[in-house]
Homo-oligomer: A and B are copies of this chain.
Amino acid sequence: MLLQIIYLIAISAEAMTGALSAGRRRMDLFGVVIIACVTALGGGSLRDIVLGHYPLGWVRHPEYLGYTIGAAIAATFLAKKLHYLRRTFLWLDALGLIAFTLIGCAVAREAGHQPAIVVIAGMLTGAFGGVLRDVLCNEIPLVFQRELYAVISLLTGVAYLLLLRMGVAENLSVLLCLGGGFALRLLAIRYEWEMPKFVYQ
């Protein structure tokens, strides 16, 4: 389906952003590939481990690893040109955030979890690949400090559940959330919307 195709685009895009992150830390090709896989597949893996939902996606479908490894290696060759594609990347990353979120919600819903857990499963899938990437790159996770990102994932999950509860069809709910979440993320980037910061000495 639509979500599946967007998922494959999204893991490739996330793998590329992970590879560039690794390159900024002067990692070797092995490190680049691992960071790319963790960025693209780590959020979903964390969700499945937390929910006890086995086997993990990439264990059942090792071809996902193929896409992320391929995208990571491609990124190292294209790195200089990717600079000009920065905007494209932000768009793909935004699309990936929302697609990952909706997939994560759907997985938790099918496993029969409560609404709060469904929303959290979506957020873990959407935003925590980047958290794991930053931990491995020895940085404070960007997601905890930057403009609205994980919060959009949470809002998308809540909207998705509300639409389903209102009787809207699954496919239409996915499309509406995909459009709405994506638009919200682009607006957050454009106008640099941020969560209030908490500074404590």
Chain A residues within 8 Å of B, Cβ to Cβ: 19-20, 22-32, 34-35, 45, 49-52, 54-56, 59, 62, 65, 76, 79, 113-114, 116-117, 120, 131, 135-141, 143-146, 150-151, 194-201
Contact = CB atoms under 8 A, between A and B. Distances in A.
Contacts of A52: 52, 54-56
A20 B144 contact: no
Contact of A195 (B19, B29, B120): B29
Copies per assembly = 3
A25 B195 CA distance: 15
A6 to B, nearest CB: 24
Nearest to A118: B62
A13 B175 CA distance: 41
A15 B164 CA distance: 33
A200 B144 contact: no
A26 B200 CA distance: 7
B28 A198 contact: yes
A146 B30 CA distance: 10
